[in-house]
Each structure stands twice: as C-alpha cells, then as structure tokens.
A and B are shown apart, each in its own frame.
Chain A
Amino acid sequence: GQNIDQPTEMTATEGAIVQINCTYQTSGFNGLFWYQQHAGEAPTFLSYNVLDGLEEKGRFSSFLSRSKGYSYLLLKELQMKDSASYLCAVTDSNYQLIWGAGTKLIIKP
C-alpha cells in the first residue's frame, strides 16, 4: 500500500529552527510537496522537490532523498504566524497526490 508518515505534533519556540520530517512509501514517485494549512483554512503550497537535495525559499527549506524515501521541511526564525499544520504529499506513478496526515506545529513565545 501507499503510506506517508510524519509526526502528529511538534512544539518549537519563537525565533528558533524546527525540522519536520516525512517518510514515504508509494508506487512510483513524481515529486514531493509541502503545504501549510492554518486551522479552518485550505492548504497553501510551500515547496516542491523532485530531485535530491535542498530547495531554499526564504525562511523555509525543503530537502529530498529519493533513495531513502525521505524529506524534511526546515523552518527558520520561527514566527507565531507559523503555527499551522504542515502537510507532506507525494505524487505517485499515476500522478495522483498521496497525502500525509499533517504535522501540527505549535509555536510558543
């Protein structure tokens, strides 16, 4: 079966750095997405990785290792507005998005 695992919840301090991990087992791989979802709102796109390595976009970075079936989202200089759920999603061989359950990130002052 297809499976995406990420921690249910994480807590971090304002101004710090946090890394959210995602491991996946899917039938084929055509890319990995990270989305941010604030409570009661729709997910919004953060990043896309299809090749191994690190993609940096401002305070957010995303890393992919296809051989390990592993990705992480790195958030630097945390702000209170970063409190949200972070969803990992993988596009399989049929170009269908398979979603993780999301990681709820709690930022404390």
Chain B
Amino acid sequence: SQTIHQWPATLVQPVGSPLSLECTVEGTSNPNLYWYRQAAGRGLQLLFYSVGIGQISSEVPQNLSASRPQDRQFILSSKKLLLSDSGFYLCAWSPQDRGAAEAFFGQGTRLTVV
C-alpha cells in the first residue's frame, strides 16, 4: 500500500532563518506531488506541484521554493523565512495515471515563524 511521510510535525523558526520540509512517498511510482499551505481557518492554497523529477510548477509567487531530487521525494525550502510564512504545510500525492484522482495527504507541518 502507498504511504506518505512528511516531517517535522511542528517547527518554530526565527524570522530570516532557512527552511527545509521533506516529504517522501512509498509504494507508488511517478506520482504527482503537491505542497499546500493552510492559514488558520482558511482553505488549502496550492504552492507547488510536480509531475516528475526536476519538474516544478509554482502557483503563488513567494519566497518559497520546491525541489524534486528523486521520483518520490519532494522538498519545500526557503532561504529566509518571513512572519507571513507561518501556517500549516501539507504535502500530498496523487496517481499520475488517473487524470482526476484523489489526493492523499501527509500529516502536515505546523510552522510558526517568530
């Protein structure tokens, strides 16, 4: 069966510090991968999605970046965090061979920038 791992679960970082959140998927090949952010009481905002290694699409201009160094690894990064980067970050995957497929989510990372 397929599983998705995302870490860490919680993170407190000072303004201006770097960020690296990692997500890995097991049990499937060539998945679509996504990074979402959810502000308190708000819906999911798509940040990045990837259909393959090295292929990253950005939905929202910001000081975050994403990379996919391996087929089932997706990394969210920032060189310098802002206070506005605080939120709940979710990694998700969906099968690529099914056009309209449900997304499966990792446990999420609660990021607080102080």
Contacts and interface: CB of A to CB of B under 8 A. Distances in A.
23 contacts: A4-B43, A30-B99, A31-B100, A40-B108, A40-B110, A41-B108, A42-B106, A42-B107, A43-B44, A48-B102, A87-B44, A91-B99, A91-B100, A95-B99, A95-B100, A97-B46, A97-B103, A99-B43, A99-B44, A99-B46, A100-B43, A102-B43, A104-B41
B105 interface: yes
A46 B45 CA distance: 20
A96 interface: yes
A40 B10 CA distance: 11
Contact of B102 (A33, A99, A102): A33
Contacts of A101: 41-43
B49 interface: yes
Interface residues on A, range: 20 to 34
Given A30-B100, A95-B99, A97-B103, A42 B44 contact: no
B90 interface: yes
B7 interface: no
B107 A96 contact: no
A95 B42 CA distance: 22
Which of B41, B42, B45, B103 has the most A CB atoms < 10 Å from its CB?
Answer: B103
A44 interface: yes
A71 to B, nearest CB: 14
Contacts of A89: 44
Given A30-B99, A31-B100, A44 B42 contact: no
Given A30-B99, A33-B102, A95-B99, A87 B107 contact: no
B104 to A, nearest CB: 7
Nearest to B96: A95
